[in-house]
Structure 1
């Protein structure tokens, strides 16, 4: 499935990491305006990353938020507000996002909306493999559920094959996840299918190195396909000396059993209403 196209009236929520494509500048402007105005609720900050030639768009977004408190809306242009370059550009961006999130929480913001017009990555030298690494790795950034992310891709600048691959590593809008319990508790909600299953390995990587039992709470997961079920079973099998406990509905349990869950001793399935 391709990245979803920017049509209709999307409903942005904390916990999202969504990729949307557009093919006209006004479409991109309208999507960003809606994201900004939704995110500027009391107690939330909005950050928008733009390309170097987006001065008019930056002014439009600022004008669209006349009631924003000082510092609540940050519109940054590549080369003038943020700059990543060179062989470490992926890590530079990840480090910058983390620092921005931590600063926002230190300033008592309860939520953070982050949007990017992703043509900036072309100017910064990202190729498709680097973008896939970045988009997969940044899933960790959204794991506390207090952040929403929107990545906007121009169909005139990115080819169809790249957009399909990029879309698959974005879990939203169908899937949301949070990490808690000192990093040993991963909660999944929504749906896992071909449109977002590419994001699952990077999400599971967040708890791979936990030296204790991992609780994967899938009680609110309404659907997963065979590929996603297989990824969960392989994750448990990769930790043979540490248990992975999956709390799930009967339907999810059946899907896991069909792909070999019962053959993995370290994988423990529990009903969604039971204790661990």
Structure 2
């Protein structure tokens, strides 16, 4: 990702990974993220390591305008995030359940959204391998499809292998691609750009609506760019549901790319102009 743009691009619906190589770099990333969430009045929750007391104090001081309870800084291993007794799928479920509870609490307290950020070193202590961590991040895409939340996952280049970081970054759609799940469960909205940097995230995003026993509406009206790999994923998704229509509302450029990779050969795939109804 382009690490100079976070404070301008972060918003609800994001699921972004950020890599850092030094403690001060991590501090600066978190400072900008906290301020980006506090400024419009969202609740901001940050998860830090047990030895990050100085960083916690810095972040608190960096957001003097935060209302009481608006900025929540938590250490892994405490409260609902005690990870010591969980492994594999149970650990992933515990993390996602904990984040969902925080989202509902933020809504109950009157906040319009929740900005979440966390140092991902907890995964190393929990013994998650690279493949398991990629599966966790793919599962988290479903959670961040809720337009009430944003997520920043911080990875220390000194602790994770280059191959692991490449795979992990690929399943994070942000900051170039955003998606939200509509009011009915088979409505998925894509915006931004879908290219080689985030195309690996698309299957887990489409999985959110894959089980719908109805027409799926994929609203790509605000998708500015779609590469051939992403277009192929959409065409294969439609082909996997031969008895239920997949309607893609899109621009002329996106439509042309879909045609190039075989959209015409899939009867269940219906392409509509971006201003048309379903």
Q: Which residue of 2 aligns with 1:74?
A: 72
State the 1:8 CA deviation. Answer: 6.1
8 A contact 1:5–1:22 mirrored in 2? no
1:171 aligned to which of 167, 170, 173 = 173
Are 1:59 and 2:61 an aligned pair?
A: no
Counterpart in the other structure of 2:202: 200
| Deviating more after overlay: 167-176 vs 119-128 | 119-128
Specify whether residues 249 and 7 from structure 1 end up closer, same or farther in structure 2 by C-alpha distance, changes over 3 A only: closer
Whether 1:126 aligns to 2:131 is no
Residue 83 of structure 1 corresponds to: 82
SS at match of 1:91: helix
Deviations 1:45-88, CA, capped at 9 Å, x for gaps: 00001122212211211222233222111111112343224221
**8 Å Cα contact 1:52/1:120 also seen in 2:** no
In the alignment, structure 1 segments of 5+ residues that lack a partner are none
Q: Which moved more, 1:4-13 or 1:215-224?
A: 4-13
Structure 1 stretches of 4+ with a deviation exceeding 4 A read: none
What's the counterpart of residue 16 of structure 2? 18
Cα displacement string for residues 4-43 of structure 1 (whole angstroms, at most 9, x for unaligned residues): 3644664222221111111110110011011111111354
Greater Cα shift, 156-165 or 77-86: 77-86
**Map of 1:35 onto structure 2:** 33
Q: Could you tell me how far apart the structure 2 residues matched to 1:224 and 1:5 are?
A: 19
Given that 2:141 and 2:204 are in contact with CA atoms closer than 8 Å, whether structure 1 keeps it comes out as yes
After superposing the two structures, state which structure 1 stretch, 66-75 or 219-228, moved more: 66-75
The residue that corresponds to 2:272 in the other structure is: 270
* Aligned position for 1:148: 150
Tell me the number of residue pairs that the alignment of Structure 1 and Structure 2 aligns: 273
Q: Distance in 2 between matches of 1:142 and 1:8?
A: 20
Q: 1:193 to 1:8 in 2, by over 3 A?
A: closer
1:218–1:248 CA contact under 8 A, matched in 2: yes
CA distance in 1, matches of 2:78, 2:98: 14
1:176-202 residue CA offsets vs partner (Å, 9 max, x unmatched): 011113111111001111100111011
Q: Give the secondary structure class of the aligned counterpart of 2:184.
A: helix
Q: What's the secondary structure of 2:229's corresponding residue?
A: helix
For residues 199-218 of structure 1, the aligned pairs below 5 Å read 199-218=201-220
String of CA shifts for 1:156-191, please: whole Å, max 9, x gaps: 111110111001000001000111131111110011
Question: Structure 2 unaligned runs (5+)?
Answer: none
